[in-house]
Every structure is written in C-alpha cells, then in structure tokens.
A = this chain, B = another copy of it.
Amino acid sequence: MRIGELAAQVGATRDTIRFYEKLGLITATRLANGYRDYPPEAAAWLRHVRTAQRLGFSLAEIAQVVEQLRGAPDEDLALSALLAEKARTVDERMAALEALRSDLAARIGTACPLRHS
C-alpha cells in the first residue's frame, strides 16, 4: 500500500503520516522507485495510534510506548498496565470537572459570582 491509500484509509493526510514517521510512530519499506510501501496492518496500527491520542496520550508518549513494548517480556500485559494508568488519569480529571461543575452551580445566581472564588 502506498502512502495516499493509507492516508485515505485512516482519514489522515500524507503529510501527517510522514510526520508520524519522523516521530518513529510508523515505519515503511521503500519500493524500487523510492515510494513508501506499507503492509495492510499499517492502517489498523495508525488507527490504534489515533485512538491512543484521543484517549489523552501525546504522540511522544505513544512513541515511547512503542519503544517500551519492543522487547517487553509480555506485550499485552505491559499495554494493559499502561491503559489502567491512563484510566486513573481520566478518573482524576472527571473528579476535577465534577468539582468545577458544582463550584459553578454554587455561584450561579449569587450576587457576585467571581468575588467569592
């Protein structure tokens, strides 16, 4: 698969994929003419990257995970642990939002909302 098809399959631009390659998030073999060539799994992998990103991982973190997974004794176990850690972060963020929400609710309708923050 060439870069344009891969890009279309995952809803990214060619530029984005080349950018990800620079960050070590994806690698490609080259065809005789110099074009990047991707195996079919590349699309699934890029979707995984996008998912991780959506879940709050920075591209640098994802690249680091890839790096850490290389040579891990149990790949799946390591990945599950990382996800569990992210879930905890999400829980914390939700608690903070809940606090802000009730903070906002308490101020609404008061005489001077920001004055008592």
| Chain A interfacial positions (CB closer than 8 Å to B) | 41, 44-45, 47-48, 51-52, 54-56, 76, 79-80, 83-84, 86-87, 90-91, 93-94, 96-98, 100-101, 103-105, 107-115, 117
Add 5 more A-B contacts to A84-B104, A86-B104, A91-B101 (CB < 8 A). Answer: A54-B96, A54-B100, A79-B107, A83-B108, A93-B97
A58 CB, min distance to chain B CBs, angstroms: 15
Q: A87-B105, A101-B94 are in contact. Are A113 and B79 (CB under 8 A)?
A: yes
Number of copies: 2
Interface majority SS on A: helix, strand, loop or mixed?
helix
A90 CB, min distance to chain B CBs, angstroms: 5
**Residue of B with least CB distance to A98:** B94
**Residue of B with least CB distance to A65:** B114
Tell me which residues across on chain B come within 8 A of A104, comparing CB atoms.
55, 83-84, 86-87, 90
